[in-house]
Amino acid sequence: ADCWVLFVCLTSDLCVTPLGLEGDVDLRFLLVGGELLKVKSSSWKKNRFYKLQEDCTTMWHESHRTFKRNQTCEYDSVRKGRQSEGLQKHTEAHVEDLCFSIIFKGRRRNLDLVAASVEEARQWVNGLEKILSNMKKLNRQQTSEHWIFNCMRKADKNKDNKITLKELKHFLRQINIEVDDMYAEVLFAKCDKSNSGSLEGPEIKHFYDLLIYREEIDVIYGKYATTGEQMSVKNLLNFLLNEQREVASMEDAVRLIERYELDDSAKQKNHMTKDGFLMYLQQEEGSILNPAHKEVFQDMSQPINHYFISSSHNTYLMEDQLKGHSSTEAYIKALMKSCRCVELDCWDGPHGEPIIYHGHTLTSKVLFKDVIKAIKEYAFKTSEYPVILSLENHCTLEQQKLMAQHMISILGSALLTSPLEDQMPTAFPSPQELKGRFIIKGKRLNKLDAVYSNTSPGVEEDCVSEEDEAAETNNSKTDSNGQKKSKIKLAKELSDLVIYCKSVHFSGFEHAKDNQAFYEMSSFKESKAVNLAETAVNAFIHHNMTKLSRIYPAGSRTDSSNYDPVPLWNAGCQIVALNFQTPSKEMDLNQGRFRSNGQSGYVLKPDFQRYPGTEFDPVTLTKGPWLKHKNFHVMVISAQQLPKINKDKCKSIVDPLVKVEIYGVPADTCSKETRSIENNGFNPMWNETFQFDIHVPELALVRFLVEDYDSTSQNDLIGQYCLPLTSLQNGYRQVPLLTKHGDVIPSAGLFVHLMLLDSK
């Protein structure tokens, strides 16, 4: 930390120096703030005062409701113009240039705003965009400084740029650490060199250094820094080889020094100081996730059914299944998380326009064409690989025709309307070949072969049986006198758009083997799929080698909870659709499963789930190439700057503990936990070691969980991180921590030592 930076932070009321935005006019404008028209509906439009908080990450606005506190909230992004659903619906086109929306993290609804002038709208949008882009450029160390400075600024209650003992105690509670008065006094006396009764200037810097001191880093660094108490290139290389178990060369060590050493004189000698070393540990190379796996590194030229595909269920819902609100925003959120299969439940709407919502329930409705527009706009922002639109169609013929028209006109050439091949294919194309394309999954009137034979004109419309999810949620339809399932009429226009993903009824693996073409796929309710994964897992794996399977949550999960996706991935199922809107362990696992391979939403299945005749069975685990027995050693060392989770309660300092969990084949599933540490979320240290036996590493996921220990009720989640076992790096590693919604907690982290070794 630079003393000057710290000084500026405490003396000016703008803590913007770390962001490199000092003196920026747009930013100053936001810090002063102003009135904006908040739009909630066509009738609810009210002027409210908004301003940016001095931490630059939260917005402040006055609440007009009595008994409600003025609100602040952390924002995630900003959208210019009338792009949001609310603004499109509730404002007129001519105010386009006055409008913008602020998007928040988690589930909080967008804030739709109208400025008084075009210039003001521009300043709001520019200012927020600048902060966001500069914030992204900060490294972990800077983020952490930014956070600590903000806490200091808040602690300086009387804004005199000095910190008294009382303010220091307040500050320690701000940063989630509870110390007894004695300790605080000793710490204070140590820093108050001038004996003035308050800390200022360099004394604050000294206090900061004491605060962020990490004993464990000292020990590790000390062991290897044997060249005049610094690390030479050779020392660093030894560390990389012995501790990190990397295949590294002198050039790699030199490169790290060049990149992370901040001290010029050390850099000239090709040395790494302790600060540089800490910097390295907190960056990409020091992170738990193998940097090579942050990019697409797998073969993307295999048929798409050879991949796990990140998939969402009832994508239109923001919350639960019965009264949740549906929104195009839910599609944007899922696609931005690299989801590659979204679901659209389509029903007849007013004015001839098809709409999307959950049939027979109170969920609100969105226009089909608006959803298609949002999908088109956001589909390929985080991954260029194909997106499957899973249609559940309850519309009349007229509106089905309109659905087809909307998709053709809005999605344009990105929509797949015929097979890629010149002749009838016998297997799927690859994600590579389908880059940037939309694939429709739904019912089809005839076989795909009809595309290649001009002989039969084909039926214009016909009945197809409807055994989709919605039919199952309404028992009166399916079970009346044991009669056949209801039928719906399907329009040829819509049917013709279904190429590689034709939905068909599943009548057993034997039947499928003899009758089902590769492009014909079935959907399984979770209970049915879990049953198959338990009783006929090898048949399931074989089925999946040539075909796609989609799994969806039971209709009884009205709260949008999720089922465990792991046994289904073990059985080779590709489209394991989860309720993306629900923070849950299962969504953490989904995020972990798809974290590698560049977060492309496609992960190649292990080869023993792909080659013909495989005898892999995740439960019995007979001998075979899937058995690659490993010992996994994990030492949970320490955590840094854990957030407070209960900001309002007076006793809100956390008592953290760490769980290490393995998910995969049943034999590998296991969980271990450390003791809890009382009253310290700032720099708790455990030094606890665990060992795991792993049989099928290629299917294993590791999840780290930091919780606040609670003796009377369930522990509360502080942060988590999940990744594939085969994507982690050995050695001393920093683990990022995410909220339950999967967003990074910028300043927090977990420090571990890992060793994944072949077992003898």
Ligand X SMILES: *[C@@H]1O[C@H](CO)[C@@H](O)[C@H](O)[C@H]1NC(C)=O
Binding residues for substrate: 441, 443, 523, 550
Q: Which is nearer to ligand X, 218 or 251 (CB)?
A: 218
Residue 301 engages ligand X in binding (rule: CB under 6 A): no
Per-residue interface string for the shown chain with ligand X, residues 238-277, x marking contact by CB under 6 A: ----------------------------------------
Q: How far is the CB of 28 from Ca ion (least distance, A)?
A: 24
Out of 160, 215, 559, 716, which residue is the one contacting ligand X (CB under 6 A)?
Answer: 215
Helix (H, G, I), strand (E, B) or coil at 525: strand
Type of residue numbered 89: K
Minimum Å gap between C-beta 490 and ligand X is 19
Interface characters, 522-561, with ligand X (x: CB under 6 A):
-----------------x--xx-xx---------------
Buried b (16+ CB within 10 A) or exposed e, 55-80: bbbebebeeeeeeeeeeebebeebbb
* Angle (CA) 585 587 589, round 5°: 70
Site for ligand X in 464-483 (CB under 6 A): 474, 476-477
Nearer to ligand X, 199 or 504 (CB): 504
CA end-to-end span of the chain? 47
Site string for ligand X, 587-626 (x = CB under 6 A): -------------------------x--------------
Stretch that binds Ca ion, among 37-45, 161-169, 173-181, 616-624 (CB under 5 A): 161-169
What residues from 639 to 698 belong to the interface with ligand X (CB under 6 A)? 685, 687
- Residue 162 interacts with Ca ion (CB under 5 A)? yes
**Shortest gap between Cβ of 544 and ligand X (angstroms)?**
7
* Residues of span 442-461 touching ligand X by CB under 6 A: none
Q: Per the residue annotation, which of 293, 358, 406, 753 is the catalytic one?
A: 358
Bridge-based pairing of strands 71-80 and 99-104 is antiparallel
* Catalytic residue list contains 358: yes
Are 6 and 204 in contact by the 8 Å Cβ rule? The answer is: yes
Is residue 62 a contact point for ligand X (CB under 6 A)?
yes
Closest separation between CB of residue 212 and ligand X, Å?
16
Residue closer to ligand X, measured from CB, 318 or 539: 539
x/- letters, 305..344, toward ligand X (CB under 6 A): ----------------------------------------
Coil, helix or strand at residue 224: helix
Task: Report the residue count for the chain.
Answer: 760
Contact 26, 33 (CB under 8 A): no
- Closest separation in Å from C-beta 13 to Ca ion: 14
Q: How far apart are CA 62 and CA 34, in angstroms?
A: 11
* Residue 249 interacts with, from Ca ion, ligand X, none (CB under 5-8 Å by kind): none
Min dist CB 679 to ligand X, Å, is 15
Q: Which is nearer to Ca ion, 160 or 398 (CB)?
A: 160
Q: Which does 350 bind (CB under 5 to 8 A by kind): Ca ion, ligand X, none?
A: none
The yes-or-no answer on residue 313 being catalytic is yes
* Count of alpha carbons within 13 angstroms of residue 706, beta-carbon side: 36
Nearer to Ca ion, 89 or 162 (CB): 162
Contact indicator for 195, 183 with CB cutoff of 8 Å: no
Rounded distance, CA 134 to CA 25, Å? Answer: 15
The DSSP string of 293-326 is GGS--S---S-GGGEEEEEESSTTBSS-TTTPPB
160 binds, among ligand X, Ca ion, none (CB under 5 to 8 A by kind): Ca ion
Helix (H, G, I), strand (E, B) or coil at 636: strand
Q: Residue 159 or residue 435: which is nearer to Ca ion going by CB?
A: 159
Cα-based distances in Å from 402 to 80, 392, 438, 521: 30, 15, 18, 25
Instruction: Establish if 415 lies at the interface with ligand X (CB under 6 A).
Output: no
SS3 content of the chain, % helix, strand, coil (to 5): 35, 25, 40
Chain-centre distance for alpha carbon 562: 16
Strand, coil or helix: what is 631? Answer: strand
Residue list, annotated binding site: 314, 343, 345, 392, 441, 443, 523, 550, 653, 655, 679, 708-710
- Reduce the secondary structure of 339-357 to three states and give it as a string: CCEEEEEEECCHHHCCEEC
Active-site residue, selected from the candidate residues 146, 271, 313, 543: 313
Beta strands 575-578 and 198-199: pairing type? unpaired
Q: How far is the CB of 14 from Ca ion (least distance, A)?
A: 18
Annotation: binding site for Ca(2+): 314, 343, 345, 392, 653, 655, 679, 708-710
Q: Which of 400, 556, 361 is nearest to 488 (CA)?
A: 400
Q: At closest approach, how far in Å is the CB of 500 from ligand X?
A: 16
On whether the CB atoms of residues 563 and 526 are closer than 8 A, the answer is yes
**In the range 98-157, which residues lie near Ca ion by CB under 5 A?**
156
CB of 445 to ligand X, least distance (A): 23
Binding partner of residue 650 among Ca ion, ligand X, none, CB cut-off 5 to 8 Å per kind: none
Q: By C-beta, is 232 or 516 nearer to ligand X?
A: 516
Binder among 296, 490, 512, 551 for ligand X (CB under 6 A): 512
Q: Which stretch binds ligand X (CB under 6 A): 257-265, 301-309, 412-420, 507-515?
A: 507-515
Residue 327's closest CA among 534, 479, 642, 107?
107
Helices (H), 414-508: 469-473, 475-478, 492-495
Q: How far apart are CA 667 and CA 659, in angstroms?
A: 19
Residues 455, 457, 461: CA angle, nearest 5 degrees: 150
Q: Considering the rule CB under 5 A, would residue 160 count as an interface residue with Ca ion?
A: yes
Number of Cβ within a 10 Å radius of residue 521: 22
DSSP 121: H
Amino acid identity for residue 538 in this structure? N
Q: Given the rule CB under 6 A, which residues bind ligand X?
A: 62, 69-70, 215-216, 219, 360, 474, 476-477, 509, 512-513, 539, 542-543, 545-546, 612, 685, 687
Residues assigned a catalytic role: 313, 358
Q: Given the rule CB under 5 A, which residues bind Ca ion?
A: 156, 158, 160, 162
